[in-house]
């Protein structure tokens, strides 16, 4: 009996050492208790070059996507309405029949001229909510774009598909993808996959993250958050396969992006409550086949990242997020009184030779800190960031932003005069 008890005790201690101790020890990292609030030297003076694009119109743009010279953004139309109904923030007030239909907005910014266009949704049903969240946009042929948008309707969250033609002032609704009957209750973000032109699935294939298991229970979602439960998942959809759950066990599956190059098809998924980004190899058109989705590597960061984005030159993976996530609900409740830190990093995808994943690399990738804004000076609740080394530009937005921030990137080695100048900039920042 004593031997049995000793075995049980050893098993418990082993479990404690292997799971619970690392689980508990990660909380100070997530909460930013010992965080050093200083960007890398080459980005120390980023704030001096930043301009907020259209702060009156572009409010609460949780996600934006840059394709060529176009920046597409999904933004809140009415901040007071969003504070009452926005499932990602556990807001489930159903208004008792008011204020009528929720209608968020989609915009396009011409990055050359900085012209802003509100894209009409003329054929979208008038009686349906449009509460925008994650999105993806791909150019399916010259001047023709396919747009996927998460829509948190009050009768269930779905993914809408629109078409946009260059020069137009509207997006045309094409289809609605409802995965609730398959378990996709809480879509967060989307990564669209162009498949073979000969396939009937063209423009209809995508991955979607499912950030929570509880559909609309604020208490259940609070448990998932506080206990960092691995209840998130990733779904794959195509016209021929429908919805299929392809990844499970993720602690708040959130941002998703990847390479669309058929020679290097790599998917990146953020499990934000584990501060982890995982890279997978996928086989376009054969995702559900054996070996259609295989894990390549985990990357562990030191903060709660949100959306993911790959730079146009495919050299960097960008991600924004929350340096003190415990302050985000407080900021949401009292945005004029409590700030919510904004952060943005980028991770090299070329450090290991070629583009990531082409040679089965297993080493680490260099990570640079671009924005470390504890006081919310640049903006509050950062959720999306992307940079362009060739243009020397950086863009960021978030839940509490007014406008989309555009800054000079000051890429390492390209815009700093010398190492001495970088050191001086770091000293000034401190």
Q: What is the pLDDT of residues 141-189, one digit of tens each?
A: 899 999 999 999 999 999 999 999 999 999 999 999 999 999 999 999 9
Which of 383, 382, 402 has the alpha carbon at shortest distance from 52? 402
- Does 252 reside within a domain? no
The strand pairing partners of 160, in sequence order, are: 149, 176
Residue 240 confidence (pLDDT) above 70: yes
Q: What are phi and psi of 12, to 5 degrees?
A: -65, -45
The pLDDT of residue 406: 97
Residue 72 confidence (pLDDT) above 60: yes
Q: Is residue 336 very low, low, confident or very high in pLDDT (cuts 50, 70, 90)?
A: confident
Q: Who wins on pLDDT, 410 or 41?
A: 41
Between CA 32 and CA 26 the distance in angstroms is 10
Sheet holding 404-408, edge to edge: 51-53, 404-408, 393-398, 382-388
Residue 226 confidence (pLDDT) above 70: yes
Name the percent of the chain lying above pLDDT 70.
Answer: 83
Which of 347, 366, 350 has the alpha carbon at shortest distance from 358? 350
Sheet holding 266-271, edge to edge: 253-258, 266-271, 276-282, 293-300
306 known member of a binding site: yes
Q: How many CB atoms lie within 10 A of CB 285?
A: 17
Residue 66 confidence (pLDDT) above 90: yes
Between CA 424 and CA 430 the distance in angstroms is 10
- Does 279 reside within a domain? no
The pLDDT of residue 421: 42
Domain count, the chain: 1
The pLDDT of residue 76: 95
- Does 381 reside within a domain? yes
Contact assessment for residue 381 and residue 322, using Cβ atoms and an 8 Å cutoff: yes
- Does 404 reside within a domain? yes
Q: Are strands 132-141 and 144-153 parallel, antiparallel or unpaired?
A: antiparallel
pLDDT in tens, 392-422: 999 999 999 999 999 999 754 444 443 444 4
The pLDDT of residue 99: 64
Residue 309 confidence (pLDDT) above 70: yes
Report which secondary-structure segment, H or E, holds 332: helix 328-333
The three-state secondary structure class of 139 is: strand
Q: Positive or negative CA dihedral for 90, 300, 210, 215? A: negative
Q: How many CB atoms lie within 10 A of CB 227?
A: 12
- Does 288 reside within a domain? no
The three-state secondary structure class of 411 is: coil
Using CA atoms, how far residue 23 sits from 90, 172, 249, in Å, is: 24, 46, 15
Q: Of 273-277, 352-356, 371-375, which gets the smallest average pLDDT?
A: 352-356
The pLDDT of residue 429: 40
Between CA 89 and CA 105 the distance in angstroms is 19
- Does 405 reside within a domain? yes
The pLDDT of residue 45: 85
Q: Classify residue 97 by its DSSP letter.
A: G
Average pLDDT over residues 197-217: 78
The backbone region for 63, taken as left when phi is positive above 0, alpha when psi lies in -120 to 50, beta otherwise, is beta
210 known member of a binding site: no
188 known member of a binding site: yes
Q: Is residue 342 very low, low, confident or very high in pLDDT (cuts 50, 70, 90)?
A: very high
Between CA 282 and CA 267 the distance in angstroms is 7
Between CA 207 and CA 37 the distance in angstroms is 34
Domain of residue 341 covers 30-58+312-430
Active site residue 133: yes
Q: Classify residue 185 by its DSSP letter.
A: -
Between CA 61 and CA 79 the distance in angstroms is 11
Q: Find the catalytic residue in 2, 133, 212, 331.
A: 133
254 known member of a binding site: yes
The answer for residues whose C-beta is within 8 angstroms of residue 353's C-beta and 6 or more apart is 359, 361
Structure tokens at 206: 């995508």
Residue 359 confidence (pLDDT) above 80: no
State the pTM of this model: 0.88
Q: Classify residue 327 by its DSSP letter.
A: G
- Does 265 reside within a domain? no
Average pLDDT over residues 13-27: 62
Between CA 165 and CA 211 the distance in angstroms is 31
Which of 268, 273, 236, 269 has the alpha carbon at shortest distance from 252? 273
The pLDDT of residue 26: 79
Structure tokens at 137: 């946009």
- Does 430 reside within a domain? yes
Mean residue pLDDT across the chain: 85
Name the percent of the chain lying above pLDDT 90.
Answer: 59
């Amino acid at each position: 009996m004593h031997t049995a008890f000793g075995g049980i005790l050893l098993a418990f201690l082993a479990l404690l050492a292997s799971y619970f101790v690392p689980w508990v020890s990660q909380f100070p990292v997530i909460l930013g208790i010992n965080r050093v609030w200083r960007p890398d030297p080459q980005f120390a003076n980023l704030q001096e070059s930043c301009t907020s694009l259209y702060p009156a119109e572009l409010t609460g743009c949780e996600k934006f996507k840059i394709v060529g010279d176009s920046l597409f953004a999904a933004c809140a139309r009415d901040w007071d309405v969003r504070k009452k109904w926005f499932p990602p923030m556990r807001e489930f007030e159903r208004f008792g029949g008011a204020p009528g239909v929720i209608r968020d907005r989609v915009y396009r910014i011409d990055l050359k001229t900085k012209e802003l266009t509100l894209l009409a949704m003329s054929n979208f049903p008038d009686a349906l909510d449009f509460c925008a969240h994650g999105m993806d946009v791909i150019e399916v042929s010259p001047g023709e774009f396919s747009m996927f948008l998460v829509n948190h309707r009050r009768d269930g969250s779905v993914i809408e598909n629109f078409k946009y033609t260059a020069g137009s002032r509207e997006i045309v609704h094409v289809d609605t993808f409802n995965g609730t009957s398959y378990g996709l209750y809480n879509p967060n973000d989307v990564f669209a996959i162009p498949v073979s032109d000969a396939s009937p699935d063209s423009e209809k294939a995508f991955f979607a993250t499912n950030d929570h298991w509880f559909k609309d229970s604020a208490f259940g979602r609070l448990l998932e958050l506080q206990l960092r439960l691995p209840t998130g998942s990733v779904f794959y959809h195509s016209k021929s396969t429908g919805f299929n759950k392809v990844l499970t066990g993720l602690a708040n599956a959130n941002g998703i992006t990847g390479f669309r190059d058929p020679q290097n098809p790599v998917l990146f998924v953020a499990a934000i409550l584990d501060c982890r980004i995982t890279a997978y190899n996928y086989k376009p058109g054969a995702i559900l086949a054996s070996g259609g989705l295989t894990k390549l590597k985990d990357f562990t960061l030191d903060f709660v990242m949100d959306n993911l984005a790959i730079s146009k030159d495919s050299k960097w993976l960008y991600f924004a997020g929350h340096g003190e996530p415990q302050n985000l609900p407080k900021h949401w409740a009292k945005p004029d009184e409590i700030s919510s830190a904004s952060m943005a990093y980028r991770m090299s995808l070329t450090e290991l030779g070629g583009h990531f994943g082409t040679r089965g690399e297993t080493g680490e990738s260099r990570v640079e800190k671009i924005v470390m804004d504890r006081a919310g000076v640049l903006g509050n609740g950062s959720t999306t960031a992307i940079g362009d080394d060739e243009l020397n530009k950086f863009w960021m937005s978030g839940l509490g932003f007014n406008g989309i921030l555009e800054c000079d990137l000051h890429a390492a080695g390209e815009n700093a005069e010398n190492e001495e100048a970088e050191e001086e900039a770091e000293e000034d920042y401190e």
